[in-house]
Structure 1
Amino acid sequence: MTPIYKDPQHPVNARVADLLARMTPEEKFAQMHAYWLVLSADGQHRERTDMSDEFSGVSEQTSLGERLMLGVGQITRPLGTHIVDAKTGVRAANRLQKMLMEETRLGIPALFHEECLVGLLCKDATLFPSSLNYASTWEPELVRRAAQQIGEEARTTGCKQGLAPVLDVSRDVRWGRTEETFGEDPWLVGVMACAYVDGLQGEKRDVLATLKHYVGHSFSEGARNHAPVHLGFRELNDTFLLPFEMAVKLANAGSVMPAYHDIDNQPGHSDAFLLTTLLRERWGFDGIVVADYGGVSLLHQHHGVSEDAAHSAALAFNAGLDVELPKDDCARHLAQALERGLLDMAKIDEIVARLLTEKFRLGLFEHPYTDESAISLQSPATRQVAREVATRSITLLENRNILPLAGKPRVAVVGPTADDPLALLSGYSFPVHLIISDMVDNTAQVTTPLAALRSYLGEDNVRYAKGCHIIKERLAGAPVFPGDSSGKPMQSSPVSHDTSLINEAVYAAQESDVVIACVGDLAGLFQSGTVGEGSDTDSLHLPGVQQQLLEALVATGKPVIVVMTGGRPYNLQGLESKVAAFMLAWAPGQEGGWAIADVLTGRAEPQGRLVVSVPKSAGAMPFYYNHKLKSGGTPFAFHFGALYPFGYGLGWTTFDYGTPTLLSENVDIHGDVTLSVTVKNSGERSGSEVVQVYARDNIASMVRPLQELKAFQRVALAPGESATLTFTIPIDMLNFTSYQGQRIVEPGEFELQVGRSSADIQGRVTVNVSGETRVLPENWRMMSWCDVK
């Protein structure tokens, strides 16, 4: 007779109960962790080892083969761990899965996860632009389409969980992981997160999106990786929890990953309030909580809140964790934790039931294998979406009648990022991610700006000079976790200060009509680059000698167009007013060269708008547009503020705004605000505008920001054409967290601001909200909308 758990005709809960009742404690423990393996198609799998092993406190174990006979919850990055073509990697994963299905006692399949923030982390997968690019489009539907294409590549390679998106709200752009964020506005981050989750997971949620890093990771001391976070619950809720709440409630996200840091002395991996009370009990989250890599071990290794690995496992699993990733550093001690009374079997059963539920729901028991012949990477449709994101995210900050370039001028393309494929990629792109493992992947699918400009303008019209290095040799950088280098030589910065190439770039500029200076970052994890995880900075000056290069180019008198790529905004130390044009392309991915060339030559409009402010200096940090009145410090702080504000970006044309009007100036506290504004293209070219609506709570029982984004809409208009945009904003969205820790809306006066950026407000109206103070229900209305006529 077929066991109930093997019969898909039975409901999932019955299958889970039947299987759980058959499992030994050791088989249950095995479901609560992953193995990080280098898989082999011949079945000779081996465990991945790296520098993290020396501080994670791992102990000797029985052979891998013996342990695998108990099963395993997940396999960590089967395709993203080493350089292997997808077909060979899938064949190896199928070989492991076959062993688990056919040779273990119960035949429980493993779930395979991969990184997928900027495309599937796999050889030959499409290399998408960064999260900053996604958000800079201000097009949630385009973000959804990008995530959908990433999800399809993941599905065809057997990935069932993607470790993305990142919902950290940018507060300080010195933080290396700024490149992974959707920007500095919590609601916009939530909107983009919902679009990404919806696209990646699809209607069936057959690939789990993983919301990270839960929560507040981006507001660390000094913008340093893993550093403590100092936040009270009200600010945590209003700013940092909001995107997670939106993605859980509106997009049904399948997984959540806690962060490495502590908030007010409580580590995220052992925070029962955040992981259980808030996430599951209040928000109704029904997915799985997975550890950030090594995060459970850090409870005893770094945070010092537990005695040993067994104690750390108990703290994390009692708090709400379901799976330890990437390995079993602490989960291997679960039997010991039980013996010591640190957790009980009821908790184990609760966790394993959730994990089995997800595996049944994903269909892994019926379809455990991946079709090697159906793998689809780099399809034309996927590449097209990647190019569209790259193009529509490019943000023009300055243009002194130079762009778009007319005809085919003689162009000097100079700078360290002009012909470096890695300079267009983020830290979690496959070729960049390999640097920390001292591996190098082919980047032939990446088109650089130099290659694209040569294609468009002709070889004879393009002169190239590198001008300087950012990093001469890309090597594995600092230790992965802070604090693990005690007694070892300090790491020195790999950034180059060699100025010997600048003269050649100056000569190229003098022999040309116009200069395109390509500068910025090299993404790389843990100081193998200038931005990325663990690659934080203390300055917002361009890394290395790039500033000297720009100064020398400007001094030639030739018009200089600055194209900045990378993962954070840098200032040009006053050259902003002297260059002919200045545009940000962020990390535009494999199609980035084409996107940059399309905008420079006028084939495309620069449609991007800033989602992080470009600060005046590092002394302004932390800086974000939605700050409070007193954030500026002294009455006239020279260093505070932004050179280019949140929401800013130029195009090829100009737009005039009419006076905004309200459907009603008095609105009930349970109702909606309806606001209309007419926008006209007053220029000579077709173009698009992102109309933005901000709110300010004039009087509240708690201190509120000066302004907060509540609605936006892109509108495309021909010259002389007008459109009327009608925004509807639920009063629920005017909420904040009360002293009692509840989301409330208070009656009173609110100013609504309509503009082309947070600093360029074209009109203001005041709405009076009447009624009694409301405590919002759990399913409060989180989204505004717009009708365009």
Structure 2
Amino acid sequence: MSHPYQDPSRPIPERVADLLARMTIEEKIAQMHAFWLFLSQDGLHRTRGDAFTGESDQSQLQARLKLGLGQITRPLGSHSVDAREGVRALNALQKFLREETRLGIPALSHEECLVGLMTRGATLFPAAINYGTTWNPELIEQIAAAIGDEARSIGCHQGLAPVLDVSRDVRWGRTEETFGEDPYLIGVLATRYVRGLQGKHRDLLATLKHYVGHSFSEGARNHAPVHLGPRELSDIFLLPFEMAVKQANAGSVMPAYHDVDNEPAHSSHYLLTEVLRNQWGFDGLVVADYVGVSLLYQHHGVAADPAEAAAQSFNAGLDVELPGDDCAAHLRQALERGQITTAKIDEIVSRVLTEKFRLGLFENPYTDENKIDLQNANAKALAEQAAEQSLVLLENNGILPIAPNAGKRIAVIGPTANDPLAMLGGYSFPVHLIINDMTSDASDIVTPLAGLQAVYGDAVRYAPGCVILGERKAGAPVFPGDVTDGSTLSLESPVSRDTSLIDAAVQTARDSDLAIVFVGDLAGLFQTGTVGEGSDTDSLNLPGVQQQLLEAVVATGKPTIAVLTGGRPYLLNGVEHQLAALAMAFAPGQQAGVALANLISGKATPSGRLVVSVPKSVGAMPYFYNHKLKSAGTPIAFHFGSRYPFGHGLTYTTFDYANLSIEKDTLDIETGEVVASFDLTNTGARDGVEVVQLYVRDELASAVRPVKELKAFARVALKAGETARVTLRVPVDMLNLTNAALKRVVEPGVFDIQVGPSSANVPLHAKVNVVGQVRELGRVWRMESTSSVARQEAHAGA
């Protein structure tokens, strides 16, 4: 070995120090940004860009690469490329960096991986909101592990997931990317997702995003300002990030596009350094959201030019600019101006190099194309399991399940019944390509129609009834900064208003014994869809003429089942109560049709529970179950509230809650634990799964508190007639709030304990009294509850 940094037997800090001392300022800056390229096996790489992200200078690319590179942006996820070809091209880049640059520093490769690895041929898992509705942390960890395995197999070192935004307003297009509206549930699922994706050795970096408060934007509009005080920011929005950092050792964090109280997240030293590193002990990489640094001067107007924007972000705590070098390329100018110091650059580059050494990139920069592993049997089985467990049954008059041999003629109707892309979230590979007018094979996706035909055969007849979007294409979105005053624009929706297909669908329903109508939305970025990033809405009515279609089918008098697919709940304007059944499938992924057919036929039983409240009216927005008492207005506004509340979901059986007991009703503020036990009985004739939920209300506090907060939950499978004694344990630490000094504290006082099947149905109540002096929590505190189930024998004849 010619230099200490090239010797893998030396400690990583020693290797970092040696390499850093050998680097020029240009080589250091090169480690602080990425390039977004269409890679080629022959080394003739092309820069990639679009209207939002821009692109790097192609003429300077080779010279810039000679200096090294921090990250390569989505080498296989930016376009439709065969995995083997993509890996060969990535290896070609790594070979150049290792062998033809002065210091031989390889690049980190990152890809999107929220709903599966976002590359051609990878498994297409359900949307993140489906992950939430499973209420199954163990399953989410398994899914993330499968995604991580696929990512590693194509040479990916960092995945840009999970999304920890706490849903507040379902008009926001990115609702589908969230785990729901409860910070604790999100934190638990995030912890499991990170553990699964990163593995035991953190050899793939998970990226927590969008840090922080992104989902509470003004008017639920993408990138819009967020109006939050620091205490609510801490209690609601920071909590999931804190849990994933402290409990799962998350490797990366991505700040959000918006500003909070006039401070952009990308230039917030308080958030990126004080909270994240100093208070929580985060030791990974902070990477920019795409062009988030540029927006400091382009949109936010807090930096004069790219150099100052880069200085602000890197001084605040950023480590790597993504997806390119828009601002980092100007860091020498910022250095000459005195806007950033060499010491700060060295600090940042040391963190970048530390991760590269820790991940073993210097010793193993290449990927074996013969070990690519996409769509294996385990991943597909997990995708089907997630789709099955995530369906939420909201209404059922007894029509479901429908036995395959029932002899019923079934009309399958609706624009999402046979549309493969309607089963996917916005960050799935086929949907993501639309923004660049590209397409990808969707043959792996089983549509609801295909799934039902496989079970019911010739009994199924199909009519689309309408379309949501006549054409899926990039279109021409206008971004802030492109125009002087966006409020004066007249923008027309591309959603179809064509009703010409409704009559045929109605006739199909009349000729059948029952109808299953699939309605909802289409994920697509920047208005290429009706939900997704940059596809926000002003209404919670079904897009286009779907309401007319549904009403027309119901008017035939034939029993009608509605299945809502897509990324947010929609209002059916009273039709809900005319339906024989209503279910929310959200975006169930590639195994959608198989899972839906299993559930409709009774082969499987519904077990999903809502993780976003379905409001009574769009006027209730923003609405969430864990609101404050005065959120309803005074007097209570007629439009306030939820038609189907957080935690709600039916099964094909019924459950009874009884005999709640609290182990100790007086709890020590230092070591106490709420231990709540109760009997849960399956009182129906079918086996089923109940999701038991424990909520807490702080009756008297030093700050205004929510009306209730989820603090424990468990999925409990019971056979018909079976009873189990369920015990939920909640550490007193979890009863904390953020005080005026912005410290997490536990206060003495009385807490109402509520147990039941949803946030609005809590038949069991008890009180506990926390005693002692106000206690400030340290860096390490007990963040999660636990559960146990003691089963009893089923009653004979049940």
- TM bucket (normalised to shorter chain) is over 0.9
Q: Which residue of 2 aligns with 1:178?
A: 175
Pair 1:464 & 2:462 matched: yes
- Matches of 1:689 and 1:139 in 2, distance apart? 12
Is the contact between residue 645 and residue 758 of structure 1 (CA under 8 Å) also seen in structure 2? Answer: yes
Separation in 2, partners of 1:408, 1:289: 58
In structure 2, what is the equivalent of residue 570 of structure 1? 570
CA distance in 1, matches of 2:149, 2:479: 33
Give the aligned partner of residue 723 of structure 2. Answer: 722
> Partner residue of 1:314?
311
Match of 2:482 in 1: 484
CA shift, 1:346, in A, is: 0.1
Match of 2:763 in 1: 762
Q: 1:425 and 2:418 equivalent?
A: no
Shift of 1:772: 0.5
Alignment of 1:267-416 (within 5 A): 267-406=264-403, 407-416=406-415
**Kept after mapping to 2: 8 A contact 1:52/1:480:** no
Is 1:224 aligned to 2:203, yes or no? Answer: no
1:470 alignment partner AA = I
Aligned to 2:249: 252
CA contact 1:480–1:526 (8 Å) conserved in 2:
no
- In structure 2, distance between residues paired with 1:487 and 1:100: 45
CA distance in 1, matches of 2:630, 2:660: 29
1:443 aligns with 2:442: yes
Task: For residue 90 of structure 1, give the secondary structure of its aligned residue in structure 2.
Answer: helix
Match of 1:88 in 2: 85
Q: Which amino acid in structure 1 is aligned with residue 415 of structure 2?
A: P
Contact 1:435 1:476 in 2 (8 A): yes
The runs of at least 4 consecutive aligned structure 1 residues that moved more than 6 Å come to none
Q: Which letter maps to 1:292?
A: D
Structure 2 unmatched runs, 5+: 791-798
Deviation, 1:359, is 0.3
Structure 1 segment 96-111 matched on structure 2, within 5 A: 96-111=93-108
Is 2:503 aligned against 1:506?
A: no
Q: SS state of the match for residue 392, structure 1?
A: helix
| Alpha carbons 2:126, 2:386 under 8 Å: kept | yes
- Quick one: percent identity of the two aligned structures? 65
Give, in whole Å, the separation in 1 of the partners of 2:269 and 2:632: 36
* 1:43 to partner: Cα distance: 1.2
TM-score by length of 2: 0.97
Secondary structure of 1:496's match? Answer: coil
Q: Counterparts of 2:649 and 2:532 in 1: how far apart (Å)?
A: 24
CA separation of 1:59 and 1:520: change in aligned 2, threshold 3 A: closer
In 1, Cα distance between equivalents of 2:131 and 2:464:
29
- Counterpart-to-counterpart distance in 2, 1:673 and 1:683: 30
Q: How does 1:507-586 map to 2 (within 5 A)?
A: 507-586=507-586
- Report the equivalent of 2:608: 608
Identify if the C-alpha distance between structure 1 residues 490 and 27 changes in structure 2 by more than 3 Å, giving closer, same or farther.
Answer: farther
1:627 counterpart SS class: coil
Measured in 2, the distance between the counterparts of 1:636 and 1:9 equals 68
| CA distances 1:540-570 after superposition (whole Å, capped 9, x unpaired) | 1000000000000000000000011000000
Q: 1:482 to 1:603 in 2, by over 3 A?
A: farther
For the 8 Å contact 1:479–1:485, the answer to whether it is kept is no
Tell whether the 8 Å contact from 1:227 to 1:261 is kept in structure 2 after alignment. Answer: yes
SS in 2 for 1:576: helix
CA contact (8 A) 2:414 2:519 kept: yes
Matches within 5 A, 1:126-205: 126-205=123-202
Please give the alpha-carbon distance, in whole angstroms, between the structure 1 residues aligned to 2:697 and 2:122: 44
Q: Answer whether contact 1:478 1:491 (CA < 8 A) is retained.
A: no
The AA in structure 2 aligned to 1:77 is R
Counterpart CA distance in 2 for 1:509 and 1:482 is: 46
AA aligned to 2:264 is P
For residues 708 and 147 of structure 1, the distance between their equivalents in structure 2, rounded to whole angstroms, comes to: 27
Number of positions where the alignment pairs a residue of Structure 1 with one of Structure 2: 785
1:682 alignment partner in structure 2: 683
CA contact (8 A) 1:255 1:290 kept: yes
Letter of the structure 2 residue corresponding to residue 688 of structure 1: V
Deviations 1:565-613 (Å, cap 9, x if unpaired)?
Answer: 0000001100110000000001000001111111111111111000000
- C-alpha contact (below 8 Å) 2:48/2:56 kept by paired residues: no
1:609-624 matches, cutoff 5 A: 609-624=609-624
The alpha-carbon deviation at position 492 of structure 1 amounts to 2.1
Superposition RMSD in Å: 1.1
Please give the per-residue CA displacement for 1:598-656, whole angstroms capped at 9, x wherever unaligned.
Answer: 11111111110000001111100000000010000132322110000000000010011
Change (3 A) 1:125 1:59: closer
| 1:408 to 1:21, Cα distance in 2 relative to 1, 3 A | farther
Correspondence list, 1:203-222, <5 A: 203-222=200-219
Amino acid paired to 1:733: M
| Aligned counterpart, 2:633 | 633
SS at 1:766's partner residue?
A: strand
Q: Is the 8 A contact 2:46 2:58 kept in 1?
A: no
Look up the equivalent residue of 1:707 and give its one-letter code: K
Mean Cα deviation higher: 44-53 or 386-395:
44-53
| Conservation of the 8 A alpha-carbon contact between 1:616 and 1:641 | yes
The question of whether the paired residues in 1 share the 8 Å contact of 2:47 and 2:58 is answered with no
2-side partners of 1:589 and 1:396: how far apart? 18
**Aligned residue number for residue 773 of structure 1:** 774
Q: For residue 97 of structure 1, give the secondary structure of its aligned residue in structure 2.
A: helix
Residue number in structure 1 paired with 2:594: 594
Q: Is the 8 A contact 2:56 2:324 kept in 1?
A: no
Contact 2:416/2:422 (8 A) holds in 1: yes
Quote the Cα distance in structure 2 between the aligned partners of 1:302 and 1:156.
Answer: 38
The 1-side partners of 2:736 and 2:634 are apart by 29
Structure 1: gaps (5+ residues): none
Measure how far apart 1:487 and its partner are.
Answer: 8.3
For residue 485 of structure 1, report the CA deviation from its aligned partner.
Answer: 4.4
Mapped to 2, the partners of 1:588 and 1:4 lie a distance apart of 51
8 Å Cα contact 2:298/2:481 also seen in 1: no
Do residues 493 (structure 1) and 493 (structure 2) align? yes
**Structure 1 segment 48-87 matched on structure 2, within 5 A:** 48-52=48-52, 63-87=60-84
Q: Contact 1:662–1:673 (CA<8 Å) still a contact in 2?
A: yes
Is residue 15 of structure 1 aligned with residue 15 of structure 2?
A: yes
Per-residue deviation, 1:479: 3.1
- CA distance, structure 2, for counterparts of residue 602 and residue 99 of structure 1: 56
CA distance in 2 between counterparts of 1:319 and 1:474 reads 40
Distance in 2 (CA, whole Å) between partners of 1:531 and 1:10 is 50
What whole-Å deviation, never above 9, does each CA across 1:648-670 have from its counterpart, x for those lacking one? 00001001111211001111111
Q: Secondary structure at the match of 2:740?
A: coil
Please tell me the residue identity of whatever aligns with 1:206. D
Task: State how far apart, in whole Å, the 2-side matches of 1:298 and 1:158 are.
Answer: 30
Q: Name the CA distance, whole Å, in 2 between partners of 1:549 and 1:675.
A: 48
Residue-by-residue CA offset, 1:681-736 (whole Å, 9 max, x unaligned): 11111111011000000011110000000000111111111001111110000000
Aligned counterparts, 1:653-672, within 5 A: 653-670=653-670, 671-672=672-673
The equivalent residue for 1:710 is 711
Q: Secondary structure of 1:702's partner?
A: coil
Contact 1:753 1:762 in 2 (8 A): yes
Q: Is the 8 A contact 1:214 1:256 kept in 2?
A: yes
- SS of the residue corresponding to residue 153 of structure 1 reads helix
Mark the CA change 1:283 to 1:41 in structure 2 (over 3 Å): closer, same or farther.
Answer: same
Separation in 2, partners of 1:291, 1:256: 9
SS in 1 for 2:659: coil
Q: Deviations over 1:259-305 (max 9, x none)?
A: 00000000000000000011001100000000000000000000000
Distance in 2 between the 1:490 and 1:289 partners?
Answer: 38
